Each structure stands twice: as C-alpha cells, then as structure tokens.
Amino acid sequence: MICANLQRIRSVIGETAGGCGRDPLEIKLVAVSKYMPAEMIAEAHQCDQVLFGENYLQDAEAKITRLPPALRWHFIGHLQSNKAKTAAELFQMIETVDRLKIAQALNRHAGLLQKKLDVLVQVNVGREPQKSGILPEEAGDLLRAMQPLTNLRVRGLMTMPPYGREPEASRPWFRALKKLSAELAAQEFFYDNTAVELSMGMSGDFKIAIEEGATFIRLGTAIFGERPRQ
Ligand SMILES: *Cc1c(COP(=O)(O)O)cnc(C)c1O
C-alpha cells in the first residue's frame, strides 16, 4: 500500500509541476512518519523514499537510531531549546525555528558537533494564536538576528496555514509565504538567496502548494494512511 501510494503521489507531483511549468525535481517529498512504526518507514524506504519528517523528538530518536543511516530526517514539530542538542544530532534539517532562543541553542550544538545545520523559519501566516511560528512582520528581525549564527544555514521558510475545508482555501496563505520569502531574499537573509526553500502543503493541499512554489511538501496520511489515534 505504501509503495502504491508513493508511486501515485510521485506521478501527481510530476503532473502538477508540469501543469504549472515547474521542474518536478524542484519538489522534494517529505514523508511525515509521526506515530508510524519503523517497519512502515522501512517499507517506504524500500520504495526509494529517503526523506522523512518527524514531530516528536523521543519517538523520532528511537526510530532514527534503528533505521539505516541513509535515511534523511526533517524535524517538523515544536522544538524546546532544552531539546536542541538531540535535534541537532539527529536531524539534517529543522523546519520549525520560530524564535531566536531556539536558533541560538541549535547553533551552539551544531558548533559542538562541528556540523552545519540546515534550518527553515516557521511562519504563522494565518496569525493563529494556537499555532507555532513567527508572525510574518517579525520574520525579518528574526532572520537579521540569526545572521551571526554561522553554524546554521537558513534555507527558507515553512508554514502550516489555517485549516480549510477546501484545498483552495490554502492558496492565499501559500502565496503569502512565497511573497514574504521573496522580500526576505531581496534583503539577502538566506544562505542561498537564489534558491530559497518553501516547505508548504500537506496531504490535502499539496497540489495547490506546488502551484504556489513549494519546494518541500510534507505528506503523512497520503503515504501511510490514517494515523493511529494517540
Ligand atoms: C502531521 C503533519 C503533516 C502531515 O499531515 P498530513 O495531513 O497527514 O499529510 C505535515 N506537516 C506537519 C507540520 C505535520 O505536523
């Protein structure tokens, strides 16, 4: 089932990218494996899925240390600064940096590990009080404050838009993130201002996200099926 899902998703990515004149290779699929056992992740890996996303550090640690080192991991959950060490050790990218304190903690631990850590800044485009992410108008100040943190490579922005019944409801939020990223790239706040990453789009709305410029799409249910209730 996981293989069939991945194959179908890859062809939808290809068609959607083609339909809006984008190179499908620009769009990287993050398989969101929260609550999924290592066996299911291994099954996806057998079908050539290498990049996975996890939300919960302890869960992720148990799986990452059991699975082959060839797998690549993005942290997509809420991060506390006392967990920055583990996160910096285990993950190739932290998608959810939304305040200076966490950026500084990650930078320090990346330095101790003698590695450069890729990060995204999470933006709360819908200004929802219950959601993580920095407000759009504060993103510039955060990025400016992160410039001295040379062990971090700020690759771009990530967002989780307000929930909408229809996939189309996400479009204005995705567009807003893209516009913000262009403004910030013009100020040269990113590691590579000519290739800014945008992590947006989930199982319900990833086609819209691709049309609006996503370079990472984060899909859980569409690959692994419904998550077990926790
Ligand atoms: C769970 C989760 C996803 C995947 O959601 P699906 O609707 O299952 O595709 C994507 N991004 C984040 C941040 C998540 O927490």
Centre of ligand 1 to C-alpha 187, Å, is 30
Q: From the CB of residue 38, how many other CB atoms can be counted at a distance below 10 Å? A: 15
Residues of the chain where predicted confidence (pLDDT) is lower than 70: 229-230
Instruction: Evaluate: CB of 74 within 6 angstroms of ligand 1.
Output: no
2, 13, 32: which to mutate for ligand 1, most atoms within 8 A of CB?
Answer: 32
pLDDT tens readout for residues 28-40: 999 999 999 999 9
Q: How far is the CA of 150 from the centre of ligand 1 (A)?
A: 29
pLDDT, position 230: 64
The pLDDT of residue 228 = 80
Determine which residue's CA is closest to atom 5 belonging to ligand 1: 220
DSSP 44-83: HHHTT--EEEES-HHHHHHHHHHS-TT-EEEE-S---GGG
